[in-house]
Amino acid sequence: MRSKFAHCLLLVLALALGRASAADAFLWFDAGRPTSDARQVLGLLLSAAAEGLDPNDYDTPALQQRLTQALQGPAPSESVLAPLDAALTAALQHYLSDLQSGRVDPRRIHANFSVARHARLDAVKLREAVAGHRLAEFVQQMAPPLPMYASLQRALARYRALAKHPAWQSALPPLPARKLVAGQAYAGLALLAQRLEVLGDLQPGTAAPLRLEGPLLKALQAFQERHGLTPDGVLGQETLQQLNVTPAARLRQIELTMERLRWTPFLQVPRMIVVNVPEFVLRAYEVRDGRVDVKLTMKVIVGKALNTRTPLFDEDMRFIEFSPYWNVPPSIARKELVPRLRREADYFEREGFEFVTGSGQTVNALSSENLDAVLHGGWRIRQRPGPKNALGDIKFIFPNNDNIYLHHTPAPKLFERVRRDFSHGCIRVEEPVALAQFVLHDEPDWTEDRIRQAMEKGESNTLRLAQALPVLIAYSTVIVKKERVFFYADLYGHDRLLDQALRQHSTGTSPAPAPNAVAR
């Protein structure tokens, strides 16, 4: 029945297009044999792993067998070719959809991006591409147009080649003590040198020393830098754990990152601010003629992994508040601030707090009754502008449901840490003046001096931006910088959720809804 239905469908299509028979409507067959384009499609499906996709998702083995039979055996009838032609088109359509938009709805894994799902493959454009022998160009246009994506493709091929390397057939031996420092001997130095050489951190042909020193020590520091660790050259348990991660596991990490790039809304606008949470880094960039020009890179502090995670989303920045008030969120007031004020009354005045009543009046007197009013939801607590204000002296506002924003901090020493998840969800920025200059690029009256004066004035002043600026809070545990591959910890477990969702997608099962993220 299926073949008869497909045959009838092709007849209708052929008549609609003014063709004489269903055979003329075949996209992938000529005179009963697969065309070169059909073989090209099969090649694309067979090599889907090079894009971080799974060839089995497109029924590739069965299609390969059927196309081989159509190529080598007796010429099939139209009733046989019709379902095969349709199946090859459907497989290509599925592949291109996955390549362009990804396989998982990002909202299922805590990524609330306003990215439109791409429409199904345009059959007319596909037929035109095949007729013009431009199939390769047509397919290439479906891949994410990001420089990072091409870099990840190369990294993927490299780690796939390393997946069965003998350097990971056995684990590095236990350390002789809690950690190995420069100048100490270790039974695993030869294997360590081999792994670092294979990974590109150690110059090829470097002899393994008897002690941790010289080029091997520098290579270990390079490895630590590439894996989000303190590059101190000390081989401790955390570094040892990362060294024992196999290339196959890194391969999967790269595949997950490529999947994220398909539905994370990069390059949607000419100017954008992007925070990569696992990397603890903010980048501000411009896009011109498809080229990304990073104007600014700085460290950030994000929400605690345990219970106050920074959510993933994109919104437009619309305001800058200089010398801001900090309106203490009810959850922080209830769980942290009110109990502390009951224990430590002078903290209220010392830190510059005040109450705000339901009618908007300010109250500067601390009392048990006033604290009760906060707990009951009638009043709130805020911190006045000043050197101790938790938001520092500037706040970048992009209205969102989670009340997340960018701001400075009175505790800049935390930026010296390698792992920087210390906040209640909002994002602290290391260089607020430079960020304000980027945001106000099209407003020449806002010079660096004027920005600093507004920040230091101590009087709250909110500026509405003349042009909204998109802010994207993203999550990528793999970054390629000048062809060096950097791996970061799965801080919030989002890679684990994505991996689970992709495996369920491949088996045809529906993933269970992910638990709600704590992000305030």
What CATH number has the domain bearing residue 201? 1.10.101.10
318 shares its domain with 352: no
Residue 65 to residue 84: CA distance in whole angstroms: 11
Q: What is the pLDDT of residues 377-389, one digit of tens each?
A: 999 999 999 999 9
Decide if pLDDT at 129 tops 90. no
The one-letter amino acid code at 455 reads M
Decide if pLDDT at 32 tops 70. yes
- Per-residue pLDDT averaged across 280-305, rounded? 94
Residue 339 to residue 375: CA distance in whole angstroms: 10
Question: How confident is residue 519, by pLDDT bands cut at 50, 70 and 90?
Answer: very low
- Per-residue pLDDT averaged across 28-41, rounded? 91
pLDDT score, position 286: 94
Residue 514 to residue 110: CA distance in whole angstroms: 8
Decide if pLDDT at 423 tops 90. yes
42 shares its domain with 124: yes
pLDDT score, position 121: 63
pLDDT score, position 24: 58
- Per-residue pLDDT averaged across 107-115, rounded? 84
pLDDT score, position 120: 58
Is position 250 within any domain? no
Question: For the CA atoms of 360, 362, 367, 369, what is the dihedral angle to 10 degrees?
Answer: -20
Is position 351 within any domain? yes
Is position 151 within any domain? no
- Per-residue pLDDT averaged across 251-256, rounded? 98
pLDDT score, position 266: 87
Residue 374 to residue 335: CA distance in whole angstroms: 12
371 shares its domain with 398: no
| Mean pLDDT score across all residues of the chain | 90
- Per-residue pLDDT averaged across 86-97, rounded? 92
β-strands 291-303, 421-423: how paired?
parallel
- CATH classification at residue 436: 2.40.440.10
Is position 147 within any domain? no
- Per-residue pLDDT averaged across 352-369, rounded? 95
- Per-residue pLDDT averaged across 254-265, rounded? 95
Is position 185 within any domain? yes
pLDDT score, position 115: 63
β-strands 33-34, 421-423: how paired?
unpaired
- Per-residue pLDDT averaged across 147-164, rounded? 95
237 shares its domain with 317: no
The number of angstroms, rounded, from the C-alpha of 51 to the middle of its chain's C-alpha atoms is: 16
Is position 251 within any domain? no
- Per-residue pLDDT averaged across 357-372, rounded? 95
- Per-residue pLDDT averaged across 252-262, rounded? 96
Decide if pLDDT at 18 tops 80. no
Is position 22 within any domain? yes
Decide if pLDDT at 10 tops 60. no
96 shares its domain with 215: no
Q: Which of 42-46, 62-66, 484-488, 505-509 has the lowest mean pLDDT?
A: 505-509
Distances (CA, A) of 442 to 81, 292, 293, 385, 468: 60, 19, 17, 27, 11
pLDDT score, position 131: 84
With tokens 């799965």, the residue in question is: 490
Total domains present in the chain: 4
- Per-residue pLDDT averaged across 320-343, rounded? 95
The encoded tokens of residue 213 equal 């020193």
Which helix (H) or strand (E) is 331 found in, with range? helix 330-332
169 shares its domain with 20: no
401 shares its domain with 499: yes
513 or 161: which leads in pLDDT: 161
Domain of residue 188, residue span:
164-245
